[in-house]
Amino acid sequence: MICPNVMNKTFENNSWIKKVIPEIIPPSLSDNTADIDRLIKGIENSLKADGLNLDLCFLKSLPKLLSRYHYQVEAVLFENNASWHLIDVQPHQDGNSVYGLAVDLGSSTVVFRLLDLTNGLIKDEISFHNPQIEIGADILTRIHYASQEGGLDELHDLVINRFNEEIDRLTKKHSLVPGSIMGMVVAGNTTMTHFFLGLDPYRICREPYIPVINRPQIIKARELKLVINPEAPVLVFPNVGSYFGGDLIAGILSSGMFARDEVSFLIDVGTNAEVVIGNRDWLMACAGAAGPALEGGVAGMGMMAGPGVIDQVAIDPHTLEFKVRTIEGLSPVGICGSGLIDLVAQLFLAGMIDLMAKYVKARCGDRLIEIDGIKTLVVVPSEASGTGQSLTLSQPDIDALIRSKAAMYTILTTISNTVNMPLEEIDRFYVAGTFGTYIDPRSAITLGMIPDRPLETYVPLGNTSLEGATMVLLSSKARDDIYQIRDQITYIELNVNQEFMNLFSAARFLPHTDRSLFPSVKEWV
Amino acid sequence: MICPNVMNKTFENNSWIKKVIPEIIPPSLSDNTADIDRLIKGIENSLKADGLNLDLCFLKSLPKLLSRYHYQVEAVLFENNASWHLIDVQPHQDGNSVYGLAVDLGSSTVVFRLLDLTNGLIKDEISFHNPQIEIGADILTRIHYASQEGGLDELHDLVINRFNEEIDRLTKKHSLVPGSIMGMVVAGNTTMTHFFLGLDPYRICREPYIPVINRPQIIKARELKLVINPEAPVLVFPNVGSYFGGDLIAGILSSGMFARDEVSFLIDVGTNAEVVIGNRDWLMACAGAAGPALEGGVAGMGMMAGPGVIDQVAIDPHTLEFKVRTIEGLSPVGICGSGLIDLVAQLFLAGMIDLMAKYVKARCGDRLIEIDGIKTLVVVPSEASGTGQSLTLSQPDIDALIRSKAAMYTILTTISNTVNMPLEEIDRFYVAGTFGTYIDPRSAITLGMIPDRPLETYVPLGNTSLEGATMVLLSSKARDDIYQIRDQITYIELNVNQEFMNLFSAARFLPHTDRSLFPSVKEWV
């Protein structure tokens, strides 16, 4: 498997955030150029560029600093729209570092990656829950809350304050001053980035479903009250629309699919199934509700990945013995999305559910019970469970997963039909997010969720938002790429017509009504 | 006489501050571009330019406004370094005006000119004392005060607060909202513009005599806490150095000398005598202390122009009768700089002072008295005066004026020697400031202050700071010109050597020791 990761490459400092050591001749009676103009000239010479911009605050503080350090200083700058802006000036000494923060702004989890911009190395990585969860776990609740008096400000402040707390902790841990963080790049979905910027996502979920902005400009940290260097640029990924955010653009960027000659797919599954197909010449995208089944949010025993959560399941088709693997090997307390897919695939291969994903009583035996008249399978009996109660999977839990997998496959089929590019001709499917990292593609194929292609066709990308944000922080080229990707994407509205519904119905079987599409799936007969 | 004034020309809207009416198609299900991107696109199409910048605050307010006005809006923008910035968006309706404020920031007097930027017309003009006078009338006192704890902030706040009071009064008078003022251009000397920007002028008067900045960048009004449109650009004229400020660059701009083929002089006399010589190819400048005699600040009866102040004097050489003209025809209360030059020139022509500018007792008769042993001339007896006391001119008052006039003439001679361009070959002397407007060049020639050239050689320019600021506010070309002028000027340090002192000594006679230089001056013999 190929894991494209900028970190693996030799670091070349071609970032849009740069440190320079300008040559400045101190003023004298024979050269009475003003201090600031003298500094600007020195920097412009170092950059080989004209028209440096600097904020009023520098005019007040710099003359004293320049004189105190005998004009031996270094300057950190960022470039935007072909013009350079001053971030900071420090006395020149060896080993001054310049840090940047790459941020994956997820609706449930936020990840910070602290990078040394002078050598491209990762200094630290931390993650924490999005504090907006206290308002609502799902995005719609938050959008609704934002439209109430003071709601938007509260949601915005929650994020910014939490960011500042974590930045404070992170910088203290590494004995850095917050001002040494001189750039931030944030990738997230359209609603999350709107909240981050304090923008009302009101019309994101209402006709005509438009965001406030598609391409946020660079904003200085002080404008967002972020406690890093006040002049540090904060770059928020652009979005294609309300349902196609910067997280997906980060995915396309970090996959490298937009630079390949061959056509690839990018799949990102969460509450929405988001799919991109294309190559260096064209990109088409489409998104559809996949339901929350895959996020572990719905099944009775479903939960987010964490200690004791089941992430792998094997069922012996002969003995029908269950083997579960849990995170950190603790007694099982629940199951995450990838575990759930494994479980249902294994149930199918063991003949415990049929083609229509219904429990087969004869094969399930005692494990199958009824709770309030609903057929429910005991996956882990209470005596083996970490909660003291049995972990169970109900028929409706399975039905929800089947709807999700059918939606995924239907979307893939639809988009491949639209561009007239059969699924079996695609030689690479990049799989973004936790789903891609932990899921066993074999199980997803067994369920008929993804096409029956050789396993090496599937390339897990890990946290593409974080990876994409990192790339943008470290490279002008990657920074430019995201705007080009954005402009290149054609977004296809999923037309839920009769044809779509037919495809969807066919995809609700295991693995599919057309068995010839999944030759490798050998279920228990 | 030619009076170059941008107001006399037909107005062409080629300002760097512009109003456009963008064509915006409202969003729909088939076109889900975000509101802000939609607006930006519309504006960029109108401007035929790319890369519009807009502040975070607009992202929050604009979506509601766009939707409320059905996307029928107009936008005001400014251009800086080839990129455009949004100032404001308003509902589109006929007759929305966009105003600008041209400011002459003098150390004693501030003048505001309110301009309608859509047609270039002057809406109003007001003047008021620079509130920093309460700290100190002269600049050095203020620079010294600025270096004390809190002093700089106080001087800065005094100006900004007074600006805001006057803006409030001005906008109320014309029933405008302060936000309709969408641009400000400020011309002043280097120290005044430093105070305006809140910058410490500490080293302006200390070795190596450098300002903080030569070319201030555009600053937004909100950053200076100016209560006009918060996003309005505030352009502060650049300076050449500590002693050659934006006021002089405004003078060069409004004279048009930098665009002429022929070489001209620009003369500005205040406490300093500032002189520029050059044409479209080169500009040389020089400044020297002329003493405050010409500002009416020193002579016992001297005062700034105002009601009852003598601005013209005639003495009948036969009857020795004095005729004085006062401003508004009131009883005389004092004399201003131009009146003083008239008075001393007339005293010389009437033989009441001699070649060395000493009182001639035989001609002065009873008018000449002694006060504390100092020879003093009664110009206006107490019974004719508006103060109830006689208005008098002492021998030291005259001596101070003579030093000033000698300094002026010596500077002109020195610079003309330096560039090897005899004074009699210069066909135009632009005379800036109040001095230029009110003084009788005949009297200045009589004193030997300026060369003995035909009177039409002298072109008064009036308030060139205000005129220059107006031009910059109304024209991109003029805006670009001031930076070009700045870069083109060679500043000559006046080398006070033996040759200079010889020239100075020769110039202390009336009109000069070399009478052949002033053939037109026919004094009483």
CA distance A475 to A274: 26
Beta-carbon separation of B217 and A53 below 8 A: yes
CA distance A452 to A409: 11
Residue B12, pLDDT score: 63
Q: Could you report the per-residue pLDDT of B19-45, keeping only the tens digit for each?
A: 999 999 999 888 889 999 999 999 999
Residue B5, pLDDT score: 44
Q: Which of A145-149, A270-274, A402-406, B495-499 has the highest mean pLDDT?
A: A145-149
- Exposure of A264 in the CB half-sphere (CA atoms within 13 A): 23
Which distant-in-sequence residues (6+ apart) come within 8 Å of A161 by Cβ?
Answer: A131
Tokens describing residue B26 = 């409202």
The answer, for B35 touching chain A at a CB cutoff of 8 Å, is yes
Residue B39, pLDDT score: 96
The answer, for B230 touching chain A at a CB cutoff of 8 Å, is no
The answer, for B371 touching chain A at a CB cutoff of 8 Å, is no
Burial tier of A48 (Cβ tally within 10 Å: 0-12, 13-18, 19+): exposed
Report whether pLDDT(A469) > 70: yes
State the ipTM, two decimals.
Answer: 0.84
Burial track A492-517 (b if 16+ CB lie within 10 A, e otherwise): bebeeeeebeebbebbbbbbbeeeeb
Beta-carbon separation of B214 and A33 below 8 A: yes
Confidence of residue B426 (pLDDT cuts 50, 70, 90): very high
Which distant-in-sequence residues (6+ apart) come within 8 Å of B36 by Cβ?
Answer: A212, A213, A214, B54, B58, B59, B62, B63
> Distance (Å) from the C-alpha of residue A176 to the closest C-alpha of chain B?
29
CA distance B489 to A5: 54
CA distance A104 to A118: 21
- Exposure of A452 in the CB half-sphere (CA atoms within 13 A): 15
The answer, for A200 touching chain B at a CB cutoff of 8 Å, is yes
Beta-sheet strand order (sheet of B489-491): B458-462, B429-432, B264-269, B272-278, B283-289, B489-491
Q: Could you report the per-residue pLDDT of B42-83, keeping only the tens digit for each?
A: 999 999 998 899 999 999 999 999 999 999 999 999 999 889
Query: What whole-number percentage of chain B has pLDDT above 70?
Result: 94
For range B300-316, the mean pLDDT: 88
In terms of pTM, does the model score above 0.80?
A: yes
Beta-carbon separation of A200 and B32 below 8 A: no
Q: Which of A54, A62, A198 sits opposite B60 (nearest CB)?
A: A198
Question: Cβ(B265)–Cβ(B430) under 8 Å?
Answer: yes
Other Cβ atoms within 10 Å of B361 Cβ, number: 10
Residue A80, pLDDT score: 94
Residue B290, pLDDT score: 61
CA distance B99 to B117: 5
Burial tier of A425 (Cβ tally within 10 Å: 0-12, 13-18, 19+): exposed
Q: Which of A29, A36, A214 sits opposite B34 (nearest CB)?
A: A214
Helix, strand, coil content of chain B in percent (nearest 5)? 40, 25, 35
Report whether pLDDT(B10) > 80: no
Report whether pLDDT(B498) > 90: no
CA distance B183 to B11: 18
Residue B269, pLDDT score: 76
By C-alpha distance, the chain B residue nearest A84 is B81
Beta-carbon separation of A29 and B212 below 8 A: no
For residue A198, the chain B residues in CB contact (below 8 A) are 56, 60
Q: Which of residues 43-72 of B touch A (CB under 8 A)?
A: 51, 53-54, 56, 59-60, 62-63
Question: How many residue contacts between A and B have a Cβ separation below 8 Å?
Answer: 109
CA distance B258 to B244: 16
Residue A131, pLDDT score: 97
The answer, for A160 touching chain B at a CB cutoff of 8 Å, is no
Q: Name the more confident of A137 and A149.
A: A149
Between vectors from CA B354 to CA B348 and to CA B356, what angle results, nearest 5°?
115
Average pLDDT, chain B: 91
For range A420-428, the mean pLDDT: 93
Residue A5, pLDDT score: 44
For range B434-459, the mean pLDDT: 89
> Distance (Å) from the C-alpha of residue B44 to the closest C-alpha of chain A?
15
Report residue A207: phi and psi, to 5°.
-50, 140
**Angle, helix B395-418 to helix B498-506, in steps of 10 degrees:** 130
For range B393-403, the mean pLDDT: 92
Beta-carbon separation of A212 and B35 below 8 A: yes
Beta-carbon separation of A211 and B59 below 8 A: no
Residue B3, pLDDT score: 33
The answer, for A106 touching chain B at a CB cutoff of 8 Å, is no
Confidence of residue A186 (pLDDT cuts 50, 70, 90): very high
CA distance A473 to A102: 7
Q: Name the more confident of B305 and A4.
A: B305
For range B404-422, the mean pLDDT: 90
CA distance A235 to A237: 6
Residue A206, pLDDT score: 86
> Distance (Å) from the C-alpha of residue A64 to the closest C-alpha of chain B?
10
The answer, for A36 touching chain B at a CB cutoff of 8 Å, is yes
Confidence of residue B271 (pLDDT cuts 50, 70, 90): low
What size, in residues, is chain A?
Answer: 525
Residue A11, pLDDT score: 61
Other Cβ atoms within 10 Å of B5 Cβ, number: 13
Report residue B454: phi and psi, to 5°.
-50, 145
Q: Determine which of A59, A61, A205, A240 to mutate to test the interface with B (most B C-beta atoms within 10 Å).
A: A59
Q: Could you report the per-residue pLDDT of B137-149, keeping only the tens digit for each?
A: 888 999 999 999 9
Q: Which of B33, B213, B223 sits opposite A36 (nearest CB)?
A: B213
Beta-carbon separation of A35 and B59 below 8 A: no
Burial track B474-493 (b if 16+ CB lie within 10 A, e otherwise): bbeebbebbeebbebbeebe
By C-alpha distance, the chain A residue nearest B234 is A56
Residue B295, pLDDT score: 53
Beta-carbon separation of A212 and B83 below 8 A: no
Report whether pLDDT(B239) > 80: yes
Beta-carbon separation of B213 and A241 below 8 A: no
Confidence of residue A394 (pLDDT cuts 50, 70, 90): very high
Tokens describing residue B196 = 């305006």
Confidence of residue B292 (pLDDT cuts 50, 70, 90): low
Q: Could you report the per-residue pLDDT of A223-261, keeping only the tens digit for each?
A: 999 999 999 999 999 999 888 899 999 999 999 999 999
For residue B217, the chain A residues in CB contact (below 8 A) are 53-54
Tokens describing residue B118 = 């859509």
For range B260-282, the mean pLDDT: 89
Residue B94, pLDDT score: 76
Q: Name the more confident of A289 and B293.
A: A289
Confidence of residue B8 (pLDDT cuts 50, 70, 90): very low
Q: Determine which of B24, B50, B56, B225 to mutate to test the interface with A (most A C-beta atoms within 10 Å).
A: B56
CA dist A360 → A322, B101, B493 (Å): 16, 84, 101
By C-alpha distance, the chain A residue nearest B35 is A212
For residue B81, the chain A residues in CB contact (below 8 A) are 51, 53, 83
Residue A29, pLDDT score: 83
CA distance A404 to A412: 12
**Angle, helix A151-173 to helix A139-146, in steps of 10 degrees:** 120
The answer, for B33 touching chain A at a CB cutoff of 8 Å, is yes
The answer, for A525 touching chain B at a CB cutoff of 8 Å, is no
The answer, for B25 touching chain A at a CB cutoff of 8 Å, is no
Beta-carbon separation of B27 and A208 below 8 A: yes
CA distance B500 to B493: 12
Beta-carbon separation of B199 and A59 below 8 A: yes
Confidence of residue A497 (pLDDT cuts 50, 70, 90): confident
Which value, in Å, is the radius of gyration of the alpha carbons in chain A?
26
Amino acid residing at B190: T
CA dist A83 → A21, A53, A79, B81, B303 (Å): 18, 8, 5, 9, 50
The answer, for B490 touching chain A at a CB cutoff of 8 Å, is no
CA distance B80 to B446: 48
CA distance A418 to A420: 5
Q: Which of B37, B54, B212 sits opposite A36 (nearest CB)?
A: B212
Q: Could you report the per-residue pLDDT of A77-106, keeping only the tens digit for each?
A: 999 988 999 999 999 987 788 999 999 999
> Distance (Å) from the C-alpha of residue B211 to the closest C-alpha of chain A?
5
By C-alpha distance, the chain B residue nearest A38 is B213
Confidence of residue A492 (pLDDT cuts 50, 70, 90): confident
String of DSSP letters for B91-110: E--TT---EEEEEEE-SSEE
Other Cβ atoms within 10 Å of A177 Cβ, number: 11
Beta-carbon separation of A210 and B35 below 8 A: yes
Amino acid residing at A323: K
